[in-house]
């Protein structure tokens, strides 16, 4: 694991703390999830009973497995047996790790899209796998990121075992269309691949962009391990509760590995999440409001960044926008992101660290917009002042 040192997210968060900068680097909300969800967990822990404060069953609490199965059936028409096709993990991160470790043997190749979420290359390395990245590039007037089907085809070979698909995609904000997913599905059939999908932003899509699970495409349910979690949907990223759905043989393999990684996840939280997914107290309406608010925040930050001189690409979902530092004279995102907390009072993440081919994205940085409007406005004001004067606004002006 040499080469997997401190993550850039941790470095940028530390820089933000050290300099008092506004942190638009790491993607976590600065407001809480629905009160009923928080209260539901607190009440369960306090009341105890039903062994809620003891090890839950290895598969996860039956209430949450049933709620996940019902949710995926209702929204996507995908039916999973809660008794052995739904499995609760410590966050999506735990599910992704167990899925890769249970499927990828040393020397197996894994196709994935770059920019890539930082846990994918790390767990592929732990499994002894070899990653085959396919670059997402901005296309069209809005600069929506997508892949070239020919490049994807060329990345798949005789040793390819798995393809990892994250949609809605962090950090480009792309929501893959049914047509794009069909290209991936065809390759999976042709080469007998297992697909691992990361759908943690499944609810956070904007402007009517529709999230389509890869498992919903013809023949894909039987070869897809789907991972999602509570953190992004309900703004509780600390809760680290996720779920894996898939055909029982694949879920059994994931479970075999995970019983020796974390064994089980927090039981009281699982009960509260089960209620929220079942919309017991209107939590799904809360999610609808979050989605609308995030779309507004995306616009707010994009307008502000453009006014400060960045080029900003169009985001269809998630917490993030990608911005080009070229118009501001920036040539290296790492240098830029390391300097900006001190110079402008705003922290961001350089995109190139999420690529195997960093030259594809030296000019790009990622901003998170999942913050209160006043925080976004303050960051925009600081960036505007910096780009006008080349200097960080004075303490007094920062308010």
Ligand X SMILES: *Cc1c(COP(=O)(O)O)cnc(C)c1O
The site for ligand X (CB under 6 A) is made up of 91-93, 117, 166, 170, 198, 200, 229, 231-232, 237, 240, 242
CB of 396 to ligand X, least distance (A): 36
In the block, residue with structure tokens 């009440």 = 43
* Closer CB to ligand X, 82 or 173, in the complex: 173
Nearer to ligand X, 257 or 328 (CB): 257
Query: Least CB distance from residue 141 to ligand X, whole Å?
Result: 26
Where residue 91 falls (left for φ over 0; alpha for ψ -120 to 50; beta otherwise) is left
CA atoms within 13 A of residue 143's CA, in its CB half-sphere: 12
Q: What is the smallest separation between the CB atom of 240 and ligand X, expressed in angstroms?
A: 6
Q: Where are the beta strands (DSSP E) in the chain?
A: 22-23, 86-89, 109-114, 130-135, 137-139, 144-146, 160-166, 194-198, 224-229, 242-245, 311-312, 320-324, 346-347, 349-350, 364-368
Q: Which residue is nearest to ligand X (CB)?
A: 91
Identify which of residues 170 and 278 has a Cβ nearer to ligand X in the complex.
Answer: 170
Nearer to ligand X, 98 or 155 (CB): 98
Q: Pick from 335, 351, 280: which is nearest to 25 by CA? A: 351
Q: How far is CA 212 from the centre of its chain?
A: 15
Q: 241 vs 302, which CB is nearer to ligand X?
A: 241
Nearest approach, Cβ of residue 17 and ligand X (Å): 20
Q: Which of 92, 325 has the CB closer to ligand X?
A: 92
Find the shortest distance in angstroms from Cβ 93 to ligand X: 3
Neighbouring C-beta atoms of residue 183, cutoff 10 Å:
16
Closest separation in Å from C-beta 237 to ligand X = 5
For 109, the 3-state DSSP assignment is strand
Maximum distance among all alpha carbons in the chain? Answer: 62
- Report the nearest approach of ligand X to the CB of residue 328 (Å): 26
Residue 217: count of CB within 10 angstroms of its CB: 19
Measured from the CB atom, is 29 or 231 closer to ligand X? Answer: 231
């Amino acid at each position: 694991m040499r080469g997997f040192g401190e993550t850039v997210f941790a470095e940028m968060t530390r820089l933000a703390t050290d300099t008092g900068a506004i942190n638009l680097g790491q993607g976590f909300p600065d407001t809480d999830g629905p009160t009923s969800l928080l209260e539901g967990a607190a009440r369960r822990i306090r009341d105890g009973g039903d062994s809620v404060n003891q090890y839950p069953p290895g598969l996860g609490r039956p209430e949450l497995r049933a709620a996940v199965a019902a949710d995926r059936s209702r929204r996507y028409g995908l039916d999973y047996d809660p008794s052995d096709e739904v499995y609760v993990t410590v966050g999506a991160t735990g599910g992704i790790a167990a899925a890769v470790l249970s499927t990828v043997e040393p020397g197996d190749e894994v196709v994935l899209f770059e920019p890539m979420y930082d846990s994918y290359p790390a767990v592929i390395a732990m499994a002894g796998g070899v990653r085959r990245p396919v670059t997402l590039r901005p296309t069209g007037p809005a600069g929506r990121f997508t892949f070239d089907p020919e490049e994807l085809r060329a990345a798949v070979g005789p040793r390819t075992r798995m393809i990892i698909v994250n949609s809605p995609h962090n950090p480009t904000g792309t929501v893959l269309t049914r047509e794009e997913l069909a290209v991936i599905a065809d390759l999976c059939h042709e080469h007998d691949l297992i697909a691992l999908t990361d759908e943690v932003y499944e609810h956070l899509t904007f402007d009517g962009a529709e999230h389509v699970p890869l498992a919903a495409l013809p023949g894909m349910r039987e070869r897809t391990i789907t991972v999602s979690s509570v953190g992004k949907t309900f703004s509780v990223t600390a809760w680290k509760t996720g779920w894996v759905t898939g055909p029982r043989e694949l879920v059994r393999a994931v479970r075999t590995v995970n019983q020796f990684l974390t064994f089980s996840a927090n039981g009281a939280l699982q009960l509260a999440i089960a209620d929220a997914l079942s919309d017991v107290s209107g939590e799904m309406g809360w999610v609808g409001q979050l989605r609308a608010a995030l779309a507004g925040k995306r616009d707010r930050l994009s307008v502000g960044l453009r006014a400060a001189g960045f080029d900003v690409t169009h985001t269809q979902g998630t917490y993030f926008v990608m911005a080009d530092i070229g118009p501001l004279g920036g040539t290296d995102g790492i240098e830029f992101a390391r300097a900006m907390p001190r110079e402008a009072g705003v922290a961001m993440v350089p995109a190139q660290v999420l690529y195997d081919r960093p030259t594809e994205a030296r000019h790009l940085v990622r901003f998170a917009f999942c913050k209160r409007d006043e925080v976004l406005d303050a960051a925009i004001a600081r960036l505007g002042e910096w780009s006008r004067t080349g200097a960080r606004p004075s303490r007094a002006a920062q308010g």
